[in-house]
Amino acid sequence: MDFGASYHVSPNANQFDQFATNGKKYHFTCSREKANIVGIGNTSLPKSNLSIKNVLIVPSTTKKLLSVDRLTSDNQVKVIFTNGMCIVKDKRTYQRIIRESN
């Protein structure tokens, strides 16, 4: 997860419920490199029902990237980073949905 990311990004399209090519041809990485986009897809996070919408498919990337801003905008959740962990909670019930450590 990344607070500064504008988009969700994934290197491959085979994990998406929906996938389509799009008009956007490239985006810039955090190191300001131009990366080709082959499409855009929608999926959900494993072990949860959180929607991950409009994920850019960028084959040259080596890791998946979740945008905290988009995750919280598309789902009624709150993301907390604390003590080497990332916790995602439901905004209404405060129930923990995901807890991951690095």
> pLDDT class for 90, splitting at 50, 70, 90?
very high
Contacts of 41 (CB under 8 A, 6+ apart): 10, 13, 15, 16, 17, 18, 19, 20, 55, 57
Q: What pairs with residue 85 in β-bridges?
A: 82, 101
Domain boundaries, the chain: 9-101
Which tens digit of pLDDT belongs to each residue from 49-65?
Answer: 898 998 988 888 888 88
Determine the average pLDDT of the residues in 3-18. Answer: 77
Name the pTM for this structure.
0.78
Determine the average pLDDT of the residues in 74-91. Answer: 93
Which amino acid, residue 46?
P
DSSP SS3 for 78: strand
**Residue 70 pLDDT greater than 70, yes or no:** yes
